[in-house]
Amino acid sequence: MCVRIFLSFLSGLALLAASPAFAGPNDVHDMVRAGEIMPLEPIQRRVMQENRGEYVGVQFDHNSRTYRFRFLKDGNLINVDVDARTGTPIRRRQSF
């Protein structure tokens, strides 16, 4: 299971690099330092506690300033979008 999570993390990083809308790790750290967004860790802990399923990974969308957390539950992918500025969940949807 750890290998699967690690591979999911790596594929998430590949998506970040391939998509111009998604900020890289340095951009995210700069925004956190500037107070524009909240750090990932406290939001991630809360989202993981509030959602059931296997945690797959997270992405940050620079344009909308949202974190997208992904979970697998019963063979379905669940996306949980959270406002990175406030830490407030915005949307939870299931992909079939």
Write out 1-64 in H/E/C secondary structure.
CHHHHHHHHHHHHHHHHHCCCECCHHHHHHHHHCCCCCCHHHHHHHHHHHCCCEEEEEEEECCC
Domain 2-95 has CATH 1.10.10.60: no
Q: What is the mean pLDDT of the chain?
A: 82
Per-residue pLDDT band at 1 (split at 50, 70, 90): low
Please state the rounded mean pLDDT for residues 72-84.
95
Q: Which residue has the higher pLDDT, 11 or 86?
A: 86
Mention every residue, 6+ apart, whose C-beta is less than 8 A from residue 33. none
Q: pLDDT tens digits for 34-76?
A: 999 999 999 999 999 999 899 999 999 999 999 999 999 999 9
Cβ atoms of 43 and 59 closer than 8 Å: no
Cα 4-24-53 angle, rounded to 5 deg: 30
